[in-house]
Amino acid sequence: FLAHPNHSRSRSGNENFWKNALKNFVWGDPQKLTDSDVLRFQWPSIGKDWERGLLAFSRSRLSSSSSSPFDDDGRLLRDIQRLEGVRVVIMYGSKDRIVVIDGVVAERLKQDYPNVKLVRLEGMGHDPFEEDVDVFLNELEKVLGQACHSSNG
């Protein structure tokens, strides 16, 4: 599939491709997926030569000198959480099927990054910030309020 950009263009430019992918893999509640949501994901894929950029990026990540593509991300997260006055919050959906954080992964994150706050959003999928903006912002405001309160008290 990745070796043939024309195949990816014909599939991903199709509205049904995005609608099905978002319903089946990204949205926690597929009933809340709107046509506007589908268009936001579809538009970038209709651009000329977008697939060449995706292939170049994928190849560069696969041929990285790092032993694991996650090593750099872990190092970056460790460095960021050490910065003075910086709080790291990872908000994730309980129904995320792309990046599953529950269980062992959540425990490992808590162990390896004790200063990182994990916030699980019930019923949400991979894009909780788009799926339900109000719920996402309310939860983020709660976390930020707690962080401000604890740093002032």
**Interval 24-39: pLDDT, tens:** 989 999 999 999 988 8
Q: How many CB atoms lie within 10 A of CB 95?
A: 20
The one-letter code for the residue type at 65 is S
Tokens of 83: 């910065």
**Interval 93-136: pLDDT, tens:** 999 988 889 889 899 999 988 888 999 999 999 999 999 999 99
Give the pLDDT confidence score for residue 99 in this predicted structure: 87
Give the pLDDT confidence score for residue 13 in this predicted structure: 57
Residue 1's pLDDT band (cuts 50, 70, 90): very low
SS3 content of the chain, % helix, strand, coil (to 5): 60, 10, 30
Residue 77 contacts residue 116 (beta carbons within 8 Å): yes
The answer to pTM > 0.75 is no
Q: What is the mean pLDDT of residues 78-99?
A: 87
Which of 68, 121, 111 lies closest to 90, judged by CA? 121
Give the pLDDT confidence score for residue 61 in this predicted structure: 61
Q: Which long-range contacts (CB under 8 A, 24 or more apart) does 6-10 make?
A: 8/51, 8/54, 9/45, 9/51
Average confidence score pLDDT of the chain: 79
Residue 71's pLDDT band (cuts 50, 70, 90): low
Give the pLDDT confidence score for residue 7 in this predicted structure: 46
